[in-house]
């Protein structure tokens, strides 16, 4: 990893607030609330942590708190809809917290101004919702400011203003965000925060209803069971520069993120259209020049992963260190961290045209949505690799591929399905479609993206969870259940992993990682 990329890399972590975070929190609050009373005192933060430590959530980046959401549990019936902020928080003492209460009450949410546009507020709201569900609380309620109302106060009532914001005729920096996060307005409150002149002391009483009330019991941070996969079947087209390429990438990342996908998978050599820039060179020289763009693309891909809150498997791209040309796939996690997997097996064509060389290691990567492996195209046709990953408790195998003909595609497709069955895991594959008439060795494409599973009673009988149309630019978004893998491995009709005859054979990795 280049020194520049290492310096710019985000390392986001969602966790509970500690009292030692006070100075970071105070810095943000002073900046945001300088006209509404400034920051809490350290004692007030201490009271809130003491009352309900699980409800005080923050996001840190490289150790510094950059966003926070704070809350308490209340017996809402004791306060009703006509309360003020001071009343429901006990004038900042937070002694109104009640472990036996039925409602999670949001006392504050804020994001450092340097981190605006990264959707951290949405991530905090999602964490609050998860907490509400896991504690089996009826709903989340909060008093919401309407700071944009001051511009319209002389011409309309708060109710009219709120209706126009709901209809997207007016944008309010607070209310528009809350409505987009599935909160609804119960009523308008007066004198909620008397010092809030921008809102003219009005506030919206907002509610998010927990549809799993009385069912869900797990606490925040547990391993996900249902994981949503987003696959991009990518059409090859001409791009003038990296900005054009990344605009198309962002379109698809935005699309699968909009469905709350946990992963976004792109194809092998998705950036190949930029080879057209080097048409005057021979193929081996051209692809080495293409490798010059890889650092920038990975950096921007990592920013998208953070901004859109989705783990991105960035297809694959060439990497050239001046001695070896290799094919590498980057995992850009949504917490800002990265890992990479080299293609191990190089096809005869790749070696002859480009001089590609294979990598020497293979890994399972931990993510917030399961343990994953990555095998690039040809590698999935070697069953030993899938089995080595399965022995490290891999849940999902991602296979970015590029194939030009149907028989080449069917080799990848058939072997990927076999890896899912024999290793009792999910396998997601995606490739590219279309043609690049002016790019040597990358002229035509064939793909039918798919998600495969084991084949048993808990899974589709044909082992196909989802499948795209052939040779059409599109996406697949589908859910996979990781708990079913555990069930399969312990109680399936056949149990390929458990019933191996290790007394007769084994697979040994010889190369040191």
Would residue 381 show up in a list of annotated catalytic residues for this protein? no
The CB density around residue 114, as the number of other CB atoms within 10 Å, is 11
Output phi, psi for 23, to 5 deg: -65, -40
Give SS3 for 69. Answer: strand
- Identify the active-site residue in 58, 264, 377, 425: 377
State the Cα–Cα distance between residues 409 and 431, nearest whole angstrom. 9
Would residue 415 show up in a list of annotated catalytic residues for this protein? no
- Identify the active-site residue in 264, 343, 381, 424: 343
| Count of residues in the chain | 513
Beta pairing, strands 226-236 & 432-434:
parallel
Q: What is the DSSP letter of 225?
A: S
Say which residue the tokens 């928080």 belong to: 89
Q: What is the DSSP letter of 241?
A: S
For residue 366, list its beta bridge partners. 371
The CB density around residue 273, as the number of other CB atoms within 10 Å, is 25
Spatial contact of 390 and 485, defined as CB atoms under 8 Å apart: no
State the Cα–Cα distance between residues 228 and 149, nearest whole angstrom. 38
The CB density around residue 98, as the number of other CB atoms within 10 Å, is 16
* ∠ Cα 176 182 183 (to 5°): 75
For residue 106, list its beta bridge partners. 71, 142
State the Cα–Cα distance between residues 48 and 480, nearest whole angstrom. 38
Would residue 417 show up in a list of annotated catalytic residues for this protein? no
Long-range residue pairs from 152-158, CB within 8 A, at least 24 positions apart, any chain = 153/200, 158/188, 158/200, 158/202
Spatial contact of 36 and 72, defined as CB atoms under 8 Å apart: no
For residue 397, list its beta bridge partners. 373, 427
User: Which residues are marked as active site?
Assistant: 268, 343, 377
């Amino acid at each position: 990893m280049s020194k520049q990329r290492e310096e710019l890399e985000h390392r986001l972590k969602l966790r509970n607030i500690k009292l030692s975070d006070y100075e970071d929190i105070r810095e943000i609050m002073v900046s945001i609330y300088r006209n509404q009373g400034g920051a809490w005192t350290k004692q007030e933060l201490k009271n809130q942590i003491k009352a309900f430590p699980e409800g005080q959530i923050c996001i840190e980046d490289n150790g510094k708190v950059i966003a926070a959401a704070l809350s308490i549990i209340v017996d809402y019936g004791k306060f009703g809809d006509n309360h003020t902020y001071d009343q429901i928080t006990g004038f900042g003492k937070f002694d109104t917290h009640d472990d036996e209460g039925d409602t999670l009450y949001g006392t504050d949410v804020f994001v450092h101004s340097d981190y605006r546009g990264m959707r951290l507020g949405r991530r905090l709201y999602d964490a609050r919702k998860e907490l509400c569900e896991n504690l089996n609380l009826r709903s989340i309620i909060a008093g919401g400011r309407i700071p944009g109302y001051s511009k319209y106060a002389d011409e309309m009532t708060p109710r009219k203003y709120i209706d126009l914001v709901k209809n997207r005729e007016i944008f309010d920096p607070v209310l528009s965000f809350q409505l987009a996060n599935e909160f609804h307005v119960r009523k308008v409150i007066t004198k909620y925060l008397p010092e809030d002149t921008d809102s003219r002391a009005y506030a919206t009483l907002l509610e998010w209803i927990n549809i799993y009330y009385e069912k869900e019991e797990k606490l925040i941070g547990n391993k996900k069971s249902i994981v949503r996969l987003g696959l991009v079947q990518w059409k090859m087209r001409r791009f003038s520069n990296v900005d054009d390429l990344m605009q198309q990438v962002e379109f698809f990342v935005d699309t699968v993120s909009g469905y709350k996908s946990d992963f976004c998978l792109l194809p092998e050599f998705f950036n190949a259209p930029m080879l057209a820039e080097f048409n005057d060179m021979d193929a081996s020289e051209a692809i080495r020049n293409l490798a010059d763009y890889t650092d920038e693309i990975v950096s921007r891909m990592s920013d998208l992963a953070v901004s859109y809150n989705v783990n991105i498997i960035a297809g694959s791209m060439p990497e050239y260190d001046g001695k070896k040309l290799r094919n590498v796939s980057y995992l850009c996690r949504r917490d800002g961290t990265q890992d990479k997997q080299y293609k191990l097996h190089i096809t005869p064509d790749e070696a002859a045209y480009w001089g590609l060389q294979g990598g020497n290691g293979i890994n399972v990567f931990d993510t917030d949505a399961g343990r994953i492996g990555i095998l690039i195209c040809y590698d999935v046709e070697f069953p030993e690799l899938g089995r080595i990953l399965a022995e490290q408790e891999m849940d999902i195998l991602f296979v970015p591929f590029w194939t030009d003909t149907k028989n080449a595609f069917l080799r990848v497709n058939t072997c990927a399905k076999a890896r899912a069955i024999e290793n009792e895991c999910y396998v997601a594959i995606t490739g590219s479609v279309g043609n690049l008439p002016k790019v040597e060795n990358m002229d035509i494409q064939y793909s039918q993206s798919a998600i495969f599973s084991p084949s048993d009673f808990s899974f589709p009988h044909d082992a196909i969870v989802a499948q795209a149309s052939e040779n059409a630019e599109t996406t697949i978004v589908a859910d996979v259940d990781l708990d079913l893998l555990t069930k399969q491995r312990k109680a399936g009709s056949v149990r390929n992993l458990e019933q191996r005859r290790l007394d007769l054979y084994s697979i040994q990795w010889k190369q040191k990682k």
